[in-house]
Amino acid sequence: MPYQINQTLCKKSGHCAEECPMGAIGYSTLNDRYELDPDLCTDCGSCADVCPVGAVSGIDDCEAPPDTSSSESCHPK
């Protein structure tokens, strides 16, 4: 199950990036947000486990409202 970051919920704590064993999450200074690279993600779920606000989740289990301003949101446009 692919993981994504809901930018509406994300508080930019960085815990997800620190926990990711594959380095699939990084901070984009250009976009001022954390972004997940699906090509590097192995769907281990470590990022979702440590997110203090639940902003990282698998696409299938996301219950947050859609964020229409970002392709990295829980719900695709």
DSSP line for 14-48: -HHHHH-TT--EEEETTTTEEEE-TTT-----HHH
Span 19-26, average pLDDT? 97
Find all residues with CB under 8 Å of 12, minimum gap 6, and list them.
27, 33, 34
Domains of the chain: 3-60 (3.30.70.20)
pLDDT for residue 2:
80
What φ, ψ does residue 45 adopt, rounded to 5°?
85, 0
Find all residues with CB under 8 Å of 43, minimum gap 6, and list them.
1, 2, 3, 58
Tell me the whole-structure pTM to 2 decimals.
0.74
